[in-house]
Structure 1
Amino acid sequence: MTLPILYSFRRCPYAIRARLALQVSAISTDLREIVLRDKAPAFLSISPSQSVPCLQHDNFVIDESLDIMIWALRQNDPQGWLKIPDAGYALIDQNDGAFKAALDRTKYPKRFPHDDPLKNRQ
């Protein structure tokens, strides 16, 4: 059996949470660290978003960290991480949505020249 390949970046919080769920689920992977300024052609050829984390296994690719977590934990969830109340998923949605968008606009204002970075701090 071939191991799933996890394309990751050590400091990316989304890649960290994917690696954490894979570890808790006891799923071994072929971990491939990505150099963000020089992404490997193999990674670019399979990743629709061209961002980490990205999991490739057999005939499927998962390129969202939360989806990687859910995939891993559905196979083995020894700590019951999937048994959170709906409010927990709502907080994840808020963090991954509105909060992350505001954070990016504050942290990387040059990427969003039409947005006011100070407004996004509120």
Structure 2
Amino acid sequence: MALPILYSLRNCPYAMRARIAIFKSHQPVALRDVVLSNKPPEMILASPKATVPILVLNEESEIVTGAVSEADTKGKIIDESLDVMLWALHKSDPHDLLHHETPETLVQMLSFIAEFDVEFKRCLEAYKCAKRYHETNISECRAACEHYIKQLEARLAQHEFLTSSRESLLDIALLPFIRQFARIERQWYLQSPYPNLKKWLNSYLQSSMFTKVMAKHPLWLDSGEEVIFVGR
């Protein structure tokens, strides 16, 4: 039976978090690494948005979009990163990242992720641009990001992970964007007053999971070879 196909870009934070969830779920997919300057026609045909990640389901499977489940999805496309994460973890969640015993926790996590994806991401993009173009408002842009960073630091002061003492969907959904934040002004970040956040981020960046998720593969258009991507 054909595996689902995942179009991915190695350093895109949205594709990154989709790969992390798939890795954590132990669900195998056929990984097709691409670059957006040379998009495969098959990828554009699958989703006119043509932005990664795109998951093409080649078999009957269950798709989860937000809190809605839909059966008989042969040939269907999932082209939002959070929906890819939920698809994978609803298929298999050996680490209980969705906290199945407390459904209200998932609702809270999804709400926080939605807010973060819009508001923090907007501040993060402004911060990245201020650094790239040597703008004079970089401190203000950083401070706007810190409003959200402080919320995460407060959570991590209470427990090891963002939701509780156990890892959750919230951790892996936010991880790629906090990684980006930490890389914009590296020296400032290393001296910043966020010890719990730095410990949390380092534990991920130094993990074997992250090394495997971030492994570099030949571009699919160049090699024609699909990589079987699965957590172990």
TM-score (norm 1): 0.82
> Using the alignment, how far apart are the partners of 1:9 and 1:93 within structure 2?
22
Does 1:107 find its partner at 2:128? yes
Q: Aligned with 1:72: secondary structure?
A: helix
Does 1:81 find its partner at 2:102? no
> Using the alignment, how far apart are the partners of 1:102 and 1:60 within structure 2?
33
Following TM superposition, by how much is the alpha carbon of 1:75 offset from its aligned partner in structure 2, in angstroms? 0.8
Following TM superposition, by how much is the alpha carbon of 1:87 offset from its aligned partner in structure 2, in angstroms? 3.1
> Using the alignment, how far apart are the partners of 1:108 and 1:63 within structure 2?
26
Say how many residue pairs are matched: 115
Q: RMSD across aligned C-alpha pairs, in angstroms?
A: 2.1
Following TM superposition, by how much is the alpha carbon of 1:105 offset from its aligned partner in structure 2, in angstroms? 4.0
Work out which of the two has the higher radius of gyration on C-alpha atoms and give 1 or 2: 2
> Using the alignment, how far apart are the partners of 2:12 and 2:111 within structure 1?
22
Q: Aligned with 1:91: secondary structure?
A: helix
Q: Percent identity?
A: 41
For 1:49-68, list aligned pairs within 5 A: 49-58=49-58, 59-68=75-84
Q: Aligned with 1:31: secondary structure?
A: strand
For 1:7-86, list aligned pairs within 5 A: 7-58=7-58, 59-83=75-99, 85=105, 86=107
Q: Aligned with 2:6: secondary structure?
A: strand
Following TM superposition, by how much is the alpha carbon of 1:107 offset from its aligned partner in structure 2, in angstroms? 3.1
> Using the alignment, how far apart are the partners of 2:93 and 2:56 within structure 1?
20
Following TM superposition, by how much is the alpha carbon of 1:64 offset from its aligned partner in structure 2, in angstroms? 0.6
> Using the alignment, how far apart are the partners of 1:20 and 1:74 within structure 2?
14
Gaps of 5+ in 1: 110-116
8 Å contact kept, 1:48–1:63: no
Runs of 4+ in 1 over 6 A off after TM superposition: none
TM-score (norm 2): 0.45
Q: Identify the structure with the greater helix proportion.
A: 2
Q: Aligned with 2:51: secondary structure?
A: coil
Amino acid at match of 2:110: Y
Gaps of 5+ in 2: 59-74, 131-136, 145-232
Q: Which gives a bigger RCO, structure 1 or 2 (Cα 8 Å, sep 6+)?
A: 2
Larger mean CA deviation between 78-87 and 58-67 belongs to: 78-87
- The answer for the alignment partner of 1:4 in structure 2 is 4
> Using the alignment, how far apart are the partners of 2:56 and 2:42 within structure 1?
11
Q: Aligned with 2:36: secondary structure?
A: coil
